[in-house]
Amino acid sequence: MRKKRGERGLWQRRYWEHLIRDDRDFAAHMDYIHINPVKHGLVTRVGDWPYSTFHRLVLDGVYSADWAGDGGNITLPYDD
C-alpha cells in the first residue's frame, strides 16, 4: 500500500521537519519523547518504558528517577 502511494522509509505522511531553536526547545522535545509511552497508555511511569534514553539520562543526572510521577494528570505545554 505504501509503495502504491509513493511512500517509503519510516516517516509518516504528516511528518514535518523541526529545527531545535535553543536549549529550552531541546528540553521540551526530550520531555515529549519521554512522556509519550505514558501518554499513550503503554506504561504508567516514564521509567517503566525499557526502550528509552530516559534511563541513561537519569544516570547522568538530567532527570530524576521519578520524573513525571505516576503519569497521572500530566499536562505539557505542547500537548495537542
Distance from CA of residue 40 to its chain's centroid? 11
Element containing residue 54 per DSSP (H, E): helix 54-59
Q: What is the pLDDT of residue 16?
A: 74
* Structural domain includes residue 49: yes
63 a catalytic residue: no
> Could you list the residue range(s) of the whole structural domain that residue 78 is in?
35-80
| pLDDT surpassing 90 at residue 14 | no
The C-alpha cell that represents 48 in the structure block: 517503566
* Structural domain includes residue 44: yes
Q: In this predicted model, which residue has the larger pLDDT, 38 or 80?
A: 38
Average pLDDT over residues 28-46: 94
Backbone φ and ψ of 79, nearest 5°: -65, 150
Instruction: Give how many domains the chain has, as a whole number.
Output: 1
Q: Dump strand ranges (E) for 1-80.
A: none
HSE value, Cβ hemisphere, 13 Å, CA-based, for 61: 0
* Candidate list 32, 51, 63, 78, residue with the active-site label: 51
Q: How confident is the model at residue 77 (pLDDT cuts 50, 70, 90)?
A: very low
